[in-house]
Structure 1
C-alpha cells in the first residue's frame, strides 16, 4: 500500500473543513465528507457530506453527483467507507461500480476492521489509509462512542474574572456557546442548574435555531420540576431526563426518561453517559454547575473543556469548590491547547492527553 501524498493530505484537509459545520446532524453515523477529484489536473468533480439523520452517506451522494465523470478519479473520504448492508447499501460496492480508481481514507472505522479496504483492493481499486489527524479529530466522538461506550464529553464553562460560573451568556459569549451547541448531538445540564436558570437550552443565533440538539437533564436526589421550561415548556425540541433507577420522577409523556443505576437517588455518571451512547450520542456538550463539573472531572469523564473567562468580575452562581477553575483543570490532567480573545473575554480550550 502506497503512502498518501501532500496533495492527498490537502484534499483531506478540505474534506474535514467541509464536514465540520455539519457535526451534530448525522445521528449515530459519522459526519463524513467525500470529494471526487480528477487526478489529471487536480480538479474537484463532486463533493458531499453525509445527509442529515445519517443517510445517505457522503460517498454515495458524491458519486451520484459525479455520475460518469467519477470513472478514473480519486475519492477522498474522511473515514473508511462502509462495506456492509445496514440502513443503506454498502458504500464500498457503490465505489467499485462507479469506476473510481483510487480511494484515500482519512481514518479507519473500527466497525469495519479493514474489510472495506480488502474489498476495494480485490476489485482493483487502490486504497490508502492516510492516518490523517484532522480526520481522526473530526470523528473522535463517533469512534469514542464505539470504543468506550460513551460520548466525547466537552464541558462549556463561562466564568467571571472572580472565578464564578456565569449562568447566562450574552453577546459574543452567547454566539460562541450556540456554535458549540449546534455541533453537538446533545446538551446535558444538571437539575440544580436547570432550576436556578430555568433555561430552555435552545439555540438563538439566526439561522442555527433548527440545530438545537437533544436537551438532557440529569436528575438529582430531589428530582426535576416539571414546571421548568426544559420539561414543561413547548419549544418543539426533544428533551430527555436521566434518572436513577428507583428515584421518583414526575415528567410529562413528551419527555423521554432514561433510567440508569445510581445511589441515593442520583444517577451514576458513567451509566448516564453509556445510556446516551446507546442512543447514538457521539458529541455531548455539558453546561454544568460547579458540583456537576467537579464530579465529571473527578470521575475522569471529561475530554475537552471550553473555558470562557469574562474580563470583569460579574459574579455568578458559585465558585469552584476546589479553587480556581484553571487549577482544577490542571489537577484533572487537562492541558490548554489554545487561547483567543473574544471582545473583552478570553476563550481557552483544554483537552485530555492522547
Structure 2
C-alpha cells in the first residue's frame, strides 16, 4: 500500500463532512461517502453517500455518475468497500471494472463479509491506502462496535440543573433546558438509529421522543422503552398513543407488556424482572441499530455507567436551579465525578445559548 498524502487527508476530511448529515438514514448499513477525484487536477469528478435505507452503496453510485470519467481516478472512501454478494453486488468488483487506479480508505471495515477487500484490489493492480483516518473512524464507530461487540455505539444525553438535579420529585423532568439545547438534542436524534428511555421516564415525563426541528420530523428514529420490573402498559403514552413512529419495548422474559400490535416487544434475559442492559443493547445490535441515543433518568444513567456501556456522554448544564424536592442526576455525588469513575474523560465544551454542553468520551474506544 502507498503512503497517505496531504491531499489524501484533505479529501478524506471532505468525505466525512459529506457523509455526516446522512448518519441515521441508512438503516443497518454504515453511512459511507465516496468521492471520485481526478489526481492530476485534484478536482472532484463525482460523489455519493450510502442511499436512504442502505441501498445502493456509495461506491456504485459515484461510479455510475462518473461513467467513463471514473477511469484513472482516485476513489476516496470513508470505509473499506464490501467484497461479497448480498443485496447488492460487490463494490470491489465495480471499482476494478471502472478502471479506478487508486483507492484511499479512511477506516477498515470489521464486518467479516468485507474481509479481503484490500487484497483483492491490490491483486487487480489498484493502489490502495488504509489511512486509519480519525474522523472516518469516528463516523463509523457504531458500525465497528456492532461487528466487534454486537452492540451499538451508545451516546447518553442528560440535562442537569445548576444544583445537579434532573427534575422535581413527583413532577418529572424539570424544564431547565433552553431552546438551543433542545434543538441540539433533536439534531442528535436525527443521527441516531434508535432512542432509548427507561420506563420511569416514559411514565413520569411523557416524552414524545420525536424530532421537532422544522422539516426533519421524518428523521425520528426507532423509539425504545426499557421496561422495569413492573412491566409496562398502554397507559404510557409512548406505548399506547398512536403516533405513526416506530416504537419498541424491551422487557425481561416473563414481565407483563400490554402494548398494541404496532409496538414491537423484544424479550431479553434479566434479573428480578429487569432486563440485563448488555443483553438489551445486543438485541438492538441484532436489529441493525448502529448508533443508540439514550435519554436516561437517574437509575438508567447509573446502570449504564456501572455496566461500562456508555461510549459518549453529553452533559448539558443549565444555569437554572431546581431547589427543594429536586431529583439528583446522581445520588452518589456530582455527575461529573460519576463519569470520571466510569472512565469517561472530558473532550470539549461549547455554549448552547445560556446552557453549557460538556462532552465526555471513552479514550480507549472509537471517538
The normalised TM-score by structure 1 is 0.98
> CA RMSD, aligned part only?
1.2
- Please list every run of 5 or more consecutive structure 2 residues that lacks an aligned counterpart in the other structure: 168-172
- Write out per-residue CA displacement over residues 262-311 of structure 1, whole angstroms, 9 at most, x where no aligned residue: 11111010100010000000110000001110011011111100000001
Name the residue aligned to 2:44: 44
How has the CA–CA distance of structure 1 residues 181 and 317 changed in structure 2, closer, same or farther, with 3 Å as cutoff?
A: farther
Supply the distance in 1 between the matched residues of 2:285 and 2:114 (Cα, whole angstroms). 21
1:314 shift after superposition? 3.8
Worse-matched range after superposition: 295-304 or 108-117? 108-117
1:349 to 345, 349, 359: 359
Worse-matched range after superposition: 152-161 or 308-317? 308-317
1:255 aligns with 2:263: yes
Supply the distance in 1 between the matched residues of 2:149 and 2:45 (Cα, whole angstroms). 37
Query: How many correspondences in the alignment?
Result: 354
Is the CA contact 1:195–1:225 (under 8 Å) kept in the aligned structure 2? no
1:294 aligns with 2:302: yes
Name the residue aligned to 2:170: none
1:340 aligns with 2:350: yes
1:174 aligns with 2:182: yes
Name the residue aligned to 2:293: 285
- Please list every run of 5 or more consecutive structure 1 residues that lacks an aligned counterpart in the other structure: none
- Write out per-residue CA displacement over residues 15-62 of structure 1, whole angstroms, 9 at most, x where no aligned residue: 000011111111111111000000010000101110111111111111
Classify the secondary structure of the residue corresponding to 2:37: strand
1:330 aligns with 2:340: yes
- Write out per-residue CA displacement over residues 54-102 of structure 1, whole angstroms, 9 at most, x where no aligned residue: 1111111111111111111000000000010011110001111111111
Supply the distance in 2 between the matched residues of 1:229 and 1:53 (Cα, whole angstroms). 28
Is the CA contact 1:75–1:102 (under 8 Å) kept in the aligned structure 2? yes
Is the CA contact 1:185–1:282 (under 8 Å) kept in the aligned structure 2? yes
1:184 aligns with 2:163: no
1:317 shift after superposition? 6.0
Name the residue aligned to 1:231: 239
1:170 shift after superposition? 4.3
1:218 to 218, 222, 226: 226
Classify the secondary structure of the residue corresponding to 1:189: strand
Name the residue aligned to 1:318: 327
Name the residue aligned to 2:67: 67
Classify the secondary structure of the residue corresponding to 1:201: coil
The list of structure 1 runs, each at least 4 consecutive aligned residues, that deviate by more than 2 angstroms after superposition, is: 111-114, 166-170, 314-317
1:174 shift after superposition? 0.8
Is the CA contact 1:162–1:314 (under 8 Å) kept in the aligned structure 2? yes
Supply the distance in 2 between the matched residues of 1:96 and 1:201 (Cα, whole angstroms). 44
1:6 shift after superposition? 0.8
Supply the distance in 2 between the matched residues of 1:206 and 1:63 (Cα, whole angstroms). 34
Name the residue aligned to 2:207: 199
Classify the secondary structure of the residue corresponding to 1:165: strand
